[in-house]
């Protein structure tokens, strides 16, 4: 059973770069996209972007200018960097696997499983 474990700095100052890593256990990075999603305090879930084993990426247009994702196949890990953070970037950040399946109506995808989440606080 695939499990994701994530880590990274939890307290940042404005203008610094957020850096998080997610390790995949019990499975391979190959054949899937891997995603980052965040949840600001008291708010909903926001998709940040995704990356596949070849380094192919898709980013949310709202964050694209500040986001970089990378993958390390040798370590079964993928990472998120978000530059120039502000208080608005304070959130719990989750990594997750994107499961894609061809169904009768087309190719569908969903997020499963998820990492445990990392609270990142941006404060001066």
Contacts for 24-32: CB closer than 8 Å, 24+ residues apart = 24/76, 24/77, 24/78, 24/97, 25/76, 26/1, 26/2, 27/2, 28/53, 28/76, 29/53, 29/71, 29/73, 29/76, 29/78, 30/73, 32/97, 32/98, 32/99, 32/100
The contact mask relative to other proteins for 45-84 (x = CB under 8 A, - = no) is xxx----------x-xxx----------------------
* Footprint of other proteins on 4-33 (CB under 8 A): none
16 or 92: CB nearest other proteins? 92
Q: Tell me if 98 sits within 8 A of 87, measured CB to CB.
A: no
Count of CB atoms situated within 10 Å of the CB of 101: 8
Candidate ranges 13-21, 24-32, 41-49, 71-79; the one touching other proteins (CB under 8 A): 41-49
Which of the ranges 10-18, 19-27, 75-83, 91-99 carries the binding residues for other proteins, by CB under 8 A?
91-99
Does position 44 interact with other proteins (CB under 8 A)? The reply is yes
Q: Which of 32, 36, 78, 94 binds other proteins (CB under 8 A)?
A: 94
Residues that bind other proteins (CB under 8 A): 43-47, 58, 60-62, 94, 96, 99, 103, 105-106, 108-117
């Amino acid at each position: 059973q695939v499990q994701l474990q994530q880590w990274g700095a939890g307290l940042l100052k404005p203008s610094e770069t957020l850096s998080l890593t997610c390790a995949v256990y019990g499975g391979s990075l190959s054949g899937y996209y891997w995603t980052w999603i965040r949840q600001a305090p008291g708010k909903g879930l926001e998709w940040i972007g995704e990356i596949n084993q070849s380094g192919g990426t898709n980013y949310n247009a709202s964050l694209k200018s500040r986001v970089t994702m990378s993958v390390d196949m040798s370590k079964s890990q993928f990472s998120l960097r978000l530059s120039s953070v502000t208080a608005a970037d304070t959130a719990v950040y989750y990594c997750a696997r994107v499961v894609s399946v061809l169904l009768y109506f087309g190719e569908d995808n969903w997020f499963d499983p998820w990492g445990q989440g990392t609270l990142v606080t941006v404060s001066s």
